Amino acid sequence: MPSTNTPATITAPNTPGGVELAAAAAVTPSTRERQGSFGGSTRVKVLKPFNTANIKILLLENVNETAVSAMRAQGYQVETHAKALAEDVLIEKIKDVHCIGIRSKTKLTKKVLDAAEKLGVIGCFCIGTNQVDLEVAAQKGIAVFNSPFSNSRSVAELVIAEIVLLSRQLGDRNNEMHQGIWSKVSANCYEIRGKTLGIVGYGHIGSQLSVLAESMGMRVIFYDVVALMPLGTSKQVTTLDELLEASDFVTLHVPETEETKNMIGEHELNCMKQGSFLINASRGTIVQIPALAKALRSGHLGGAAVDVFPKEPAANGKFFESELIGCPNTLLTPHIGGSTEEAQSMIGVEVSQALIKFINNGTSIGAVNFPEVDLRAIRDEENSIRLCYTHMNVPGVLLRITNILAEHNVDKQFSDSKGKIAYLMADISDVTPEQIQDIYRLVSETPTNIVTRVLY
Active-site annotation, residues: 283, 312, 335
Say how far apart CA 213 and CA 36 lie, in whole Å: 44
The three-class DSSP label of residue 193 is coil
AA identity, residue 48: K
CB–CB of 205/231 below 8 Å?
no
Distances (CA, A) of 144 to 9, 91, 112, 261, 367: 20, 18, 15, 23, 5
Please state, in angstroms and rounded to a whole number, the distance separating the CA atoms of residues 60 and 74.
19
Q: Is the dihedral of CA 266, 271, 276, 281 positive or negative?
A: negative
DSSP output for 318-354? S----TTTT-TTEEE-SS-TT-SHHHHHHHHHHHHHH
443 contacts: CB under 8 Å, gap ≥ 6: 387, 389, 401, 404, 449, 452
Which of 312, 345, 260 shows the shortest CA–CA distance to 65? 345
d(CA 282, CA 262): 12
The dihedral through the CA atoms of 322, 325, 331, 332 has a sign that is positive
How many helices (H) and strands (E) the chain has is answered by: 13, 18
